Structure 1
Amino acid sequence: MKMRTYLVEDNPTIRENLISTLEELAPVEAVGCSETEDEGAAWLTRNEAQWDLAIVDLFLKKGSGLHVLEACRRRKPLQKVVVFSNYATQEMRRRCAELGVDAVFDKSTEIDCLLAYCVTQGQKLGAVANDDCQLQTA
């Protein structure tokens, strides 16, 4: 089962390369993207049943990824929010954890970790979907 993934990233090159890589190597289907805090927060809250994973950069063309994270605090238990940023310091990781982020990955050194996370979460989501199907047929 593919995770419906929404990306908040203002750099078009990073955005396109990340989507391409994730869709090729992990169970990910991009359902949308935005470049600004307002667009990202609005889409994720208006379409709360349409995504499984949000990947958020902290520094955006307009606004802050921290406000997007705040908008995602109240979400379904299986929905995951991760940060993918060049600013993954210990202090920022702590602040993200306080906002309910599930994981933080450094763009320059942890792309493999992000991919592994997506694979693991996709497997968990698939297992839950299979359990739901078995419950309905029982």
Structure 2
Amino acid sequence: MKLRTFFVEDNPTIRENLIATLAELADVEAVGLAETEADASEWLSINPGAWDLVIVDLFLREGSGLGIVTSFQQRLSSQKLLVLSNYATADVRERCLELNADAVFDKSNEIDALIDFCIDLNTAKA
């Protein structure tokens, strides 16, 4: 069973590479994507049961990934929200986790850990 994933990333190259990598290595299926906080919040609000995982970048074309993390603190226990950012400093990690993000990964050096998280989540879901 595929892990239904919503991607919030405004860089098309990063987004396409991430989707392809996770589809191949972690059995992830992209169910939607957004480039702005408003678009992501709208889709997630309209489709509350249509996703298992949300992967959010913090710096978006409009708005902030932190706003999405803040808005979706309440979700099903089976639904996970991850932050994937180039700015995964200790302070950023702490703040995201305080806001109920399930994990925070650095784009530059923690992609393998993200893949492992997705594989584990998909295994637990099966």
Give the TM-score, by structure 1 length: 0.90
Tell me the C-alpha RMSD between the 2 structures.
0.6
Matched, 1:113 2:113: yes
Equivalent in the alignment of 1:91: 91
Give the letter aligned to residue 78 of structure 1.
S
**Which has the larger share of helix?**
1
1:73 Cα deviation from its structure 2 partner: 0.8
The alpha-carbon deviation at position 42 of structure 1 amounts to: 1.2
Unaligned runs of 5+ in 1: 127-138
SS in 1 for 2:122: helix
Structure 2 match to 1:123? 123
CA distance in 1, matches of 2:15, 2:8: 8
AA in 2 matched with 1:69:
V
**Shift in Å at residue 5 of structure 1?**
0.1
Structure 2 residue runs of 5 or longer lacking an equivalent are none
State how far apart, in whole Å, the 2-side matches of 1:45 and 1:83 are: 18
1:72 is displaced (CA, Å) by 1.2
Greater Rg, structure 1 or structure 2?
Answer: 1
The residue type equivalent to 2:89 in the other structure is T
CA contact (8 A) 1:45 1:71 kept: no
Query: For the residues of structure 2 that align with 1:40 and 1:98, how far apart are their CA atoms?
Result: 21
* 1:62 corresponds to 2:62: yes
1:70 deviates by 1.3
Identity value in percent: 56
Q: Given the two structures, how large is their TM-score scaled by the length of structure 2? A: 0.98
Counterpart amino acid of 2:74? R
Matches of 2:125 and 2:39 in 1, distance apart?
A: 26
Distance 1:4 1:50 in 2: 7
Following superposition, the deviation at residue 67 of structure 1 comes to 0.6
